[in-house]
Amino acid sequence: MDQTVEGKIYVNGDFQECCIGITDGKISNIKKILKGDKHYKFDHKLILPAGIDIHVHFRDPGMKNKEDFSTGSMAAAFGGISCVFDMPNTNPQTTNLQALSDKIALAKKKSFIDFGLYAGVIDDNIKQISNLKKLCSGFKVYIGGTTNSLQLDPIYLNQVFKNISSTNKPVLIHAEDDACLNKHKIIENNLADHFSSRPSICEEKAIRSVIEAANGVDLKVHICHLSSSIGLELLKNRTKNITCGVTPHHLFFNIENSMRNQVFYKVNPPIRTNFDRDILSNSIKNGLIDIIESDHAPHTVEEKNVEFDSAPSGIPGVETIFPLFLYLVKDGKLPFSRLLYSLCEKPAEILNIPKGKLEVGKDADFIVVDFKKVCKIKSERLHYKCEWSPFEKWPAIFPIHVFIRGEKLIEDQEMLGKKGFGRFVGV
């Protein structure tokens, strides 16, 4: 055993005073007492699995003024995330083998943490799916238009699902029906207008198409950033191969709260009503929603600070997702078990990676947390290139140390890790 870690560790759904043994980056043993070549003892702190964020936009290549793979992955690490999955709406878009292998190469050089990549499916590359399957970690389909998006006409959904089927790789869906969005588009001056422009029925319509197209096909489908109560209603009777996720911004914000600088909350799908927010919050508690995903979609302050209607949609969030929810747990609003299931265990299962749980055979990815150390989020202390966060001043608990594959990446909230440490996963 190369290393052992002793403390109050979350194993088998509960905290136990015990030790984990680590060999070659994997958990090789869990026992009451263990002593390896190197022994870490974390008294009075909690040891939790690191988070997995299956939905980030690191903007690399092509939009590095907003973020790049090194800044994005560094921010993720400081927020206790050991593995991210990056979306294909970069420039060039990740829709062919060349773009995919180029992105793998650049991310391998730059990433502080492990990562996977999605291939985007558009009307023109449906026939390439069998080739893309060999290289990508999963697929992304945009049914409706959003920021720099790639689009697939829903008439092709069933064909696409069939082409992807019989792999363990999921297809993730941005579910807003494009025809419906076009029908409701108005000139927008604020968040309420953005909500009217992209009503819940467009999400419902898209989810309905997805459920129909997936019927009888053997594949994993994930509905991203669910935002409406009627969308969720449709998913209540879904088959087991369909999962869904929610973002922190859809759980924490609603249009009735008159936020200042509303354009900084402009996001797709839109922030909706308090009623929707309540239903989504309850559903993460009762397990109707499977996971939490950040949809980290940074834009610069200059890009956002224009007229509401022409501003890009998207909110950064990869560094704050775990800290915000750790505070909710401390505050008694969410049990530990639900948080660690929806941010660690289930995402790992969807992407089929050996992470997300502290158990023998899994990667030794964990964070050390001092539950007494609550702070207020300050954008200037975050690591995003865009230098802003909609969660400014929100209470949060950031990890003190972060380990990935047994290596100490962050110690006392200082980065020890190096660019290029991150490995490509999920193939």
Residues that bind Zn ion (CB under 5 A): 174, 295
Which helix or strand (DSSP H or E) is residue 19 part of? strand 14-23
* Dihedral angle sign, alpha carbons of residues 119, 123, 126, 127: negative
CB–CB of 188/177 below 8 Å?
no
| DSSP 8-state class, residue 229 | H
Question: Applying CB under 6 A, which part among 38-46, 143-151, 324-332, 418-426 lies near ligand NCD?
Answer: 143-151
Report residue 43 as tokens: 């008294």
CB atoms within 10 A of CB 413: 13
In angstroms, rounded to a whole number, what is the distance separating the alpha carbons of residues 264 and 258? 13
Instruction: Give whichever of 114 and 295 is closer to Zn ion, judged by the CB atom.
Output: 295
**Which among ligand NCD, Zn ion, none contacts residue 267 (Cβ within 5 to 8 A by kind)?**
ligand NCD
Among 8, 57, 194, 304, binds ligand NCD (CB under 6 A): 57
Q: Does 229 bind ligand NCD (CB under 6 A)?
A: no
Among 4, 90, 313, 320, binds ligand NCD (CB under 6 A): 313
Question: Applying CB under 6 A, which part among 15-23, 93-101, 141-149, 355-363 lies near ligand NCD?
Answer: 141-149
In angstroms, rounded to a whole number, what is the distance separating the alpha carbons of residues 178 and 149? 12
Tell me which amino acid residue 35 is. Answer: K
Name the minimum Å distance from CB 202 to ligand NCD: 13
Q: Does 174 bind ligand NCD (CB under 6 A)?
A: yes
Question: Applying CB under 6 A, which part among 41-49, 142-150, 160-168, 182-190 lies near ligand NCD?
Answer: 142-150
DSSP codes of every residue in 331-387: TTSS-HHHHHIIIIIHHHHHHT-S-SS-STTSB--EEEE-TT--EE--GGGS--SS-
Whether 295 is catalytic: yes
399: cis peptide before it, omega within 30°?
A: no
Name the minimum Å distance from CB 64 to ligand NCD: 14
In angstroms, rounded to a whole number, what is the distance separating the alpha carbons of residues 131 and 128? 5
CB–CB of 294/324 below 8 Å?
no
Length of the chain measured in residues = 427
Quick note: the x/- pattern for ligand NCD over 339-378, rule CB under 6 A, is ----------------------------------------
Name the minimum Å distance from CB 148 to ligand NCD: 6
Name the minimum Å distance from CB 361 to ligand NCD: 33
Specify the 3-state DSSP secondary structure of 403: strand
**Which among Zn ion, ligand NCD, none contacts residue 226 (Cβ within 5 to 8 A by kind)?**
none
Instruction: Give whichever of 19 and 141 is closer to ligand NCD, judged by the CB atom.
Output: 141
CB atoms within 10 A of CB 332: 7
How many residues of this chain bind ligand NCD (CB under 6 A)?
A: 12
Determine the straight-line distance between the first and last CA of the chain, rounded to whole angstroms: 28
Quote the Cα angle for 103-109-113, to 5°: 90
Q: Does 295 bind ligand NCD (CB under 6 A)?
A: yes
Q: Does 267 bind ligand NCD (CB under 6 A)?
A: yes
Among 136, 214, 246, 297, binds ligand NCD (CB under 6 A): 297
Candidates 193, 295, 363, 365; catalytic one: 295
Q: Does 294 bind ligand NCD (CB under 6 A)?
A: no
Instruction: Give whichever of 66 and 346 is closer to ligand NCD, judged by the CB atom.
Output: 66
Q: Does 89 bind ligand NCD (CB under 6 A)?
A: yes
> Which residues would be at the binding site for ligand NCD (CB under 6 A)?
57, 89, 146-148, 174, 267-268, 295, 297, 313-314
Residues with active-site annotation: 295
